[in-house]
Amino acid sequence: MSQPRFHSVLLFGAPGVGKGTQGRILGQIPGFFHLSVGDVFRSLDIGSPEGREIYKYSSQGMLVPDELTIKIWKRHLDALTVLSHYKPHEDLLILDGIPRNRRQVELVEAHVEVLKIVHLKCSDTEAMIHRIRRRAIRENRADDAQEEIIRKRFEVYEQETKPVVDQYPARLVAEVDAIGSPAAVLLETLKCVVPVQNAHFRHEDL
C-alpha cells in the first residue's frame, strides 16, 4: 500500500529572496510546519560521508545531486513525523529549497502533493547578493560568504531552478513581491497560504 502524500506549499525564489525568513515565521503559526532543505543540509555532521558530499557541492555554489538530496530530505521528514514534530493530519507542510530542478519535481511528487507555490520575486540581484552576504556574517554561514560562490548560485538558479515553476499548473502559482519589510511580505504570503490551510483542515476533518 502506497504512503499518502504530504499536503504542501512550496516557497520558491532566487537565493536571498527571503524564503527562509518567511518559512520560519509561518512555522511559528499553528497549522503550518516549515522544513528548509538548506537547514537540513547544514545540520549534517560535516565529518560524515553525506556531510562531506553535501559540502563538496554547496561550497562551490552547485546543486547537490538529486538522489542524495531526496534521500536526506525524506529521511529527515520521516524522522520528524515519527517524533510527532510534524503532524501531517494537523500541519500544512511549508517546503523551502526543494525541488530545485525539473528532475527533483518528479522525485518529490512521489512524496508530496503541492497545493500552492508562493513565488517570491525580486528583480534586483545586487540587493539580494548584499542580503546574502549580510546573512552570512550574522549567521556564520561560510557557504554564503564569498561573492564568487554567491554569483555561481544565481547562475545555477537561472539555469536549473527557475524553470521549475513552469512544471506546475499556473493556477497553483502565486507571485509575491519580496521587496519590503518581512512583515509586509508576510502579509501578502498569508493571503496566498491561509485559504490553502483552511481547505487542508476541512479535508482532514472529513
* Cα four-point dihedral sign 85, 91, 97, 98: positive
**What is the amino acid identity at position 65?**
P
Per-residue pLDDT, 144: 65
How far apart CA 148 and CA 125 sit, in angstroms, is 14
Domains and CATH numbers, the chain: 6-205 (3.40.50.300)
Long-range contacts of 25-32 (CB under 8 A, 24+ apart): 25/182, 25/186, 26/94, 26/186, 26/189, 26/193, 27/94, 31/90, 31/91, 31/92, 31/197, 31/200, 31/201, 32/91, 32/92, 32/94, 32/193, 32/197
Per-residue pLDDT, 149: 87
Q: How far is the CA of 157 from the CAs of 32, 67, 97, 105, in angstroms?
A: 26, 19, 11, 15
Grid cell at residue 68: 542524495
Would you give per-residue pLDDT tens digits along the chain (206 residues)?
457 899 999 999 999 899 999 999 999 999 999 999 999 999 999 999 999 999 999 888 899 999 999 999 999 999 999 999 999 999 999 999 999 999 999 999 999 999 999 999 998 888 888 888 887 777 776 666 688 888 999 999 999 999 999 999 999 999 999 988 999 999 999 999 999 999 877 755 54
Per-residue pLDDT, 203: 59
pTM of the model: 0.89
Per-residue pLDDT, 145: 67
How far apart CA 135 and CA 131 sit, in angstroms, is 6
Name residue, grid cell 524564503: 19
Q: How far is the CA of 23 from the CAs of 16, 20, 85, 138, 187, in angstroms?
A: 13, 5, 16, 18, 13
Per-residue pLDDT, 206: 41
> Strands 173-177 and 112-121: what pairing?
parallel
Per-residue pLDDT, 1: 43
